[in-house]
Amino acid sequence: MLNLHEHAAVPAPRSDRKSCQPHAVLLIPEAHLKLRTVVELTGLSESTIRRRVATGDFPQPVRHGKRCTRWIAGDLSAWLRSADPRYAGLRPSNTEGHE
């Protein structure tokens, strides 16, 4: 039987994709994070992140065109520190201008 995920022309499902950004990028306040990286760092699903953005319970992303959305690492690290005491030890980042 043919496994479609092994065929080079068929991309893996989103849930199987790995982020190409190292998690240490979170320590660079100005870095722009891909959604996949945000999912990995927060443990939240894509739909939960989008829902929380819509309700104002998650940092707003930056739009770089119609199909490119990124989150500012400093905003995400500040949210992680405020949302979960385990992240309180993250180095404070300068998020000025990214409200």
Domain spans in the chain, listed from the N-terminal domain onward: 22-87
Kindly list the strands in the beta sheet with 62-63, ordered across the sheet, starting from the edge strand earlier in the chain: 32-33, 69-72, 62-63
Could you tell me the pLDDT band of residue 57, with boundaries at 50, 70 and 90?
Answer: very high
Top CATH class of 22-87 equals: mainly alpha
Q: What percent of the chain has pLDDT over 90?
A: 51
Global pTM reads 0.67
Q: What's the CA gap between 66 and 94, in Å, rounded?
A: 27
User: So what's the pLDDT on residue 6?
Assistant: 53
